[in-house]
Amino acid sequence: MTNVAENLRAVRARIAAACEAAGREADGVALVAVSKRMPSDAIRAAYAAGQRDFGENYVQELVRKRDELADLPEVRFHLIGHLQSNKARLAATLADCIQTVDSVRVVDALGRASEGRARPLQIFIQVNVAGEDSKSGCAPDALARLVAAARTVRHLRLRGLMTVPPAGDPSATRAAFRALAALAAEHELPELSMGMSDDLELAVSEGATLVRVGTAIFGARPTA
Ligand SMILES: *Cc1c(COP(=O)(O)O)cnc(C)c1O
């Protein structure tokens, strides 16, 4: 049995140590616990240990978990999987934050879906900084147009940029994190969503304000 509470403590300690090493305040890095493909009971265990922000990749799975977890008043969900514009309306009703906005089409669809919300829908723009074919995210040279579009929509609050870096080679990973930080600075965006179980220290050293950690908290995911 995975001990979620113990794993969470260990991950929080890793974040604190990385902040200390980087000379940053420990409360400057938020933790999103990535619960995709994990049962709702795993989310309950993390919630009981004080975790409030969770990451999900699939809109349909989020539908089910919202329902199963309706009794947890403070749970917040971040959509971190690719979002198609035809799912935007549903996603906007289920998620507190959508981290994978990568086209003007999706910005427009979320804007329409968010009219009349009491609080603005939080978004991050996902950038494919290394230009990998296998990854979603906008190209760096498309970012200015997307940022401008997102900023004109009243019910969206653009928090920052998100990326999934090339895996395997730490120097390529670091370069991707650094490139994302430079783009965020250029557009005066305060937040950087980057860093996962294997590279959160690297991400914090390059300025991450939000890390998305799954395996190190919940253990290996069941295969889909
Ligand atoms: C699955 C996933 C994560 C978590 O990855 P781990 O290696 O399990 O920590 C983070 N971000 C995104 C976008 C993911 O799809």
Q: Structure pTM?
A: 0.97
Q: Which residue has a Cα nearest atom 10 of ligand 1?
A: 212
Between 6 and 118, the higher pLDDT residue? 6
- Reading the block at residue 117, the tokens are 């919300």
Average pLDDT over every residue of 22-35: 96
Burial call 154-193: b when 16+ CB within 10 Å, e when fewer: ebbebbbbbbbbbeeeeeebbbbbbbbbebbeebebebbb
Reported as a pLDDT band with limits 50, 70 and 90, residue 224 is low
Cβ atoms of residues 98 and 83 within 8 Å: yes
Q: CA 57: distance to chain centroid?
A: 10
Determine whether the shortest distance from the Cβ of 167 to ligand 1 is under 6 A.
no
Computed over every residue of the chain, the mean pLDDT equals 96
Residue bearing the CA closest to ligand 1, atom 4: 214
The answer to whether the CB of 179 is under 6 A from ligand 1 is no
pLDDT tens for residues 140-174?
999 999 999 999 999 999 999 999 999 889 999 99
Q: Is 78 in the pocket of ligand 1 (CB under 6 A)?
A: no
**Distance separating the N- and C-terminal Cα atoms of the chain:** 20
% of the chain exceeding 90 in pLDDT: 94
Identify whether the C-beta of residue 220 lies closer than 8 Å to the C-beta of residue 34.
no
Task: Find all residues with CB under 8 Å of 19, minimum gap 6, and list them.
Answer: 25, 26, 28, 29, 204
Residues 6+ apart with CB under 8 A from 153: 107, 108, 110, 111, 114
Q: Angle formed by the axes of helices 104-114 and 143-152, to 10°? A: 10
pLDDT one-digit tens code per residue, 63-106 = 999 999 999 999 999 999 999 999 999 999 999 999 999 999 99
Is residue 1's pLDDT more than 80?
no
HEC profile for 161-193?
EECCCCCCCHHHHHHHHHHHHHHHHHCCCCEEE
Q: How far is the CA of 171 from the centre of ligand 1 (A)?
A: 19
Ligand 1: does its nearest atom lie under 6 Å from the Cβ of 46? no
212 Cβ below 6 A of ligand 1: yes
Q: How far is the CA of 187 from the centre of ligand 1 (A)?
A: 25
Would you give the distance in Å from CA 63 to the centre of its chain? 18
Report the separation in Å between the CA atom of 53 and the middle of ligand 1, taken as the mean of its atom positions: 14
Task: Decide: 133 and 139 in contact? Cβ < 8 Å.
Answer: no
The pLDDT of residue 218: 98
Q: Ligand 1, from 7, 8, 34, 163: best to mutate by most atoms within 8 Å of Cβ? A: 34
CA of 115 to the centre of ligand 1 (A): 30
- In tens, the pLDDT along 2-17 reads 899 999 999 999 999 9
